[in-house]
Structure 1
């Protein structure tokens, strides 16, 4: 550990920090805000915490004794703990400025490429657009041409379908998986309805809005608040000002099972809608020190907020690509902002829990960094393929990963409904009445987790990879019918589209077919990056689709050798139908797995 001239400890982890503000300054000048915010926009200092958290998730060193107010205590590290890191500040989320301006993003990319970074990690995004209209798509392609892998977040617009952002095939896109007090004493637990101020409405007090609580009735109790209308942190502030010792934040029906681990200003717990119903039926509560539960089952589960496919621009490219941990992630935090970001909160913390695909992205970026260090000769596409084809789709119960954004309910029993609703036990769909207190979740699909949950050990030695060159991406544009003027944004002047090219011959590690109404043949090629071996194919066919592969055996004699195969799909899909399958090439040790998605009429 070295000391700077100002005696600040320095471990040489952060080797670069630059800011890019032409776009935001132009905006601030147009709003007459530049004088007020001139200090902030002329600094790389992190005034939100997001930048610090994501940067150190990707490349933070080993640190012992990390916790957030006693929760999750243990040793923390980033995905590439021995990496050097550099911060390029291109977003400015304040005063409704829109956050990220095209010119600032492009300038940041240009500088990072010029500096010779090995991996670019971007926990930012925007709604899907044609690639020639997408700033991140254009700038990231420049990085790919220089051999720099680019990893981006898929977005937090789930569980809505077709919500994934950062969808270009050269970007590796990640979705998200979920993951001292007083002595033990029993406290009265009350709802807003019991402590309503004289002038407050019944609806407002249940939401714990300002000036709705009778402080004399709240003091010394645990207050139950419903989510909605105001921020979760603001609700806690109103509760603590009223004199409560704790808060239980209950989801309404709309929020359902979406739980966020905020750092509140008082002891608090966020619970789902069904658990909230139970709280209302047993209004007493304890305040106990925080603890961490490990080895929970089933785990992992897809986060409800994680954006999903299908890909709105290129349906044949399955997005997201992979999934990684992104819920309640503990990582370093900025000392320039409070943990809640609220003006009334004067606390600072060295570590913080945050959730979102912004947190998933740097987990993947860290793995990309490790692979690039181990295999410097691999292209960005080869690294991406290794991560995708080695990903896993089962949880720790050996069942398919579940989708936390699709709660289902089991049929109720006579212990729940007695003799039924007016002696009727079926609902208006003529099925058994469901039990709203027994949520289950449907298995996730490739539109939710892509190729699966990242498995770093498998990615180190994938056996085979689906490789791509920058020229392959240009031919991908040709196959998509892009005009020459649009392709020129990405290509050199001397590039010309081939006489014929097909989207089905694009060598992507996952396999998507949109609007299958008969038969289609796809061509792929595999490169050996391991020992010589004989690989045989296994196929799980999508429902209603026949899949044939030729040849069914591939023999590799040396590293770098490439073999081609054809995949023919035949079937007649119904309108709106989606079929999921799997293609695996294996030599008995390696399992090179690709998801198959076949559909008709999704757009």
Structure 2
């Protein structure tokens, strides 16, 4: 098989074998630090299903997703579809390509795709300049010697003076530097755009160690600063003093201080490095009490494109869970992170860290409701999710310039709520044949392709739209005039309950639900007809919500994401 790179952490975890009454975990190694082979991943999934697991937790994904209808028919998606057919819930990291739109790597409707949020755990470090100014940054690092201020040297001022000096500013390679000039100093590395990442820090650390720097400071280039850098840099466990400063205030203050204390010749050659600083200990957590935001790195919807260059009628991601600054078990023999070699635990960030949170909650649901299908568990997770934090503030999303109001393409149905997910009231179920029907109506997918991929032909009577798949969300990527969407809810409550449907309409869309009120018995189902009517073309998705309020205190929420292409 062709070697395929996978995003996130290099392991595949499967949990809760069906043969036991208590949760247990089975781990199948399929990926290495360099990536892996699709055949190994497929073999691992096959073995996990054969062993009787209930939940597949996949902190892996393809390095890129193909556009077009073939995306849903590739070998990994088909393997996971057959795992779902066997009763296994698949929970997969949505990817770390955010905040770019349509960057999701987990996109099929039979998979529960997990976005990552920030947490209130922060590892803030501080730097003290020689003039007494103190600024807060990020990175888990050792401090410089207590009370000792070290000279600061901008990377371009300690390189070998030739054409490589401009390239030296980001400190990604040791070759351009004059080691006699930098030895014992704090090297100052700059970035002029939003290309900063943990890989960048790895290169800076390697460069600093090779050229003899005492530590490093990362700051935005002169005149270009951001209030925000990728959250995954905040948990890097550094082997030498280092700090990342991302605020505009810190950037401007640093350059004013550095330039005023650095003596240069007429040719701009530095003859005296007068600016100095010391870095404090950044290894102590601070708990802010702030609610979660969608992390900048978390991949965003909408979903993949079909043959007509419309995004699929599938809401991705599905759910949001903690993914930043997560303490995780770590193999001491792992070579994938040079700073954690020999460690049993590591602090990590990414959608890979959010995924096990959701898999764990799903395992608790499965333990309580042994006969629930994967779709029912996903529905319970989604319809019970939270859109506000404990203070009542709506969820926000990190972007390159700060925070903005979040949408379902950032967080799916919302932030995971474990206790409510155990008792959702109503669920939306879907079986293997419904997923086949979905594939058969994806624009550009023909019956023969479906037959080849799954071994089953398309039904004679089929749905009209992908949006008719019975999921706990409604997404329409191309609303022309009006469309009726069908949903079937099943009561999982213990007593008869009456529900009233409240509609929060997306901008430019009229929404009616029939019936708008209904009484339902335990284990009974109800067909709902949702009419969507485009009233105004917005040239983008607009978002709304259906809320089912039960008289036994169940609240069931269904997100709406609609793109109006034309009105009646």
Common fold by TM > 0.5: yes
Q: Name the residue aligned to 2:122.
A: none
Q: How far did residue 83 of structure 1 move?
A: 3.5
Q: How does 1:328-343 map to 2 (within 5 A)?
A: 328-338=325-335, 340-341=337-338
Q: Tell whether the 8 Å contact from 1:49 to 1:333 is kept in structure 2 after alignment.
A: no
Whole-angstrom CA distance in 2 between matches of 1:196 and 1:166: 44
- Does the Cα contact within 8 Å between 2:87 and 2:373 map onto a contact in 1? yes
Which structure 2 residues correspond to residues 496-575 of structure 1 after superposition, within 5 A? 496-498=459-461, 501-532=464-495, 533-558=497-522, 560-574=523-537
2:415 is aligned to: 453
Name which of 245, 249, 257 aligns with 2:229: 257
CA contact (8 A) 1:510 1:596 kept: yes
Partners of 1:405 and 1:331 in 2: CA distance: 26
> Which residue number corresponds to residue 254 of structure 2?
279
Structure 2 partner of 1:413: none
Aligned to 2:324: 327
C-alpha distance in 2 between matches for 1:346 and 1:329: 14
User: 1:5 matched to which residue of 2?
Assistant: none
**Contact 1:174–1:360 under 8 Å retained in 2:** yes
Deviation at 1:216, TM superposition (A): 4.1
Q: Does residue 101 in structure 1 map to residue 65 in structure 2?
A: no
Name the SS of the counterpart of 1:247 in structure 2.
Answer: strand
Moved over 6 A (4+): none
Please name the residue that 1:128 is paired with.
Answer: 65
Question: In 2, distance between residues paired with 1:49 and 1:488?
Answer: 32
Partner of 1:139: 79
**TM-score, normalised via structure 1 length:** 0.75
Give the Å deviation of 1:185: 4.4
Q: RMSD in angstroms over aligned alpha carbons? A: 3.0
Query: Structure 2 CA distance, aligned partners of 1:456 and 1:353?
Result: 23
| 1:197 CA drift (Å) | 3.7
**Matching residue of 1:156:** 96
2:287 alignment partner, SS class? coil
**CA deviation string 1:51-109 (max 9, x = no partner):** 46x759x89xxxxxxxxxxxxxxxxxxxxxx7322222222443xxxx23232222222
C-alpha distance 554-189 of structure 1, shift in aligned 2 (>3 A): farther
Q: Render the CA deviation track for 1:551-593: whole Å, top value 9, x for unaligned.
A: 11121232x1111222112223426232111111012522211
State the Cα distance separating 1:346 from its structure 2 match.
9.2
Q: Taking structure 1 as reference, are residues 494 and 447 closer, same or farther at Cα in structure 2, changes over 3 Å only?
A: closer
Note the C-alpha offset of 1:478: 2.7
Post-superposition offset of 1:503: 3.0
Q: Is 1:237 paired with 2:206?
A: yes
- Residue 266 of structure 1 corresponds to 240
Q: Indicate the larger mover: 352-361 or 127-136.
A: 127-136
**Cross-structure match for 2:288:** 295
Equivalence for 2:168? 205
Q: Which residue of 1 aligns with 2:350?
A: 356
For 2:340 and 2:346, how far apart are their aligned partners in 1?
Answer: 15
| Match status 1:175 vs 2:115 | yes
- List runs of 5+ in structure 2 lacking aligned partners: 17-21, 120-141, 259-275
Unaligned runs of 5+ in 1: 1-21, 28-47, 60-81, 408-439
Mark the CA change 1:382 to 1:500 in structure 2 (over 3 Å): closer, same or farther: closer
Partner of 2:430: 468
- 2:264 is matched with none
TM-score, structure 2 normalization:
0.79
8 Å contact kept, 1:184–1:287: no
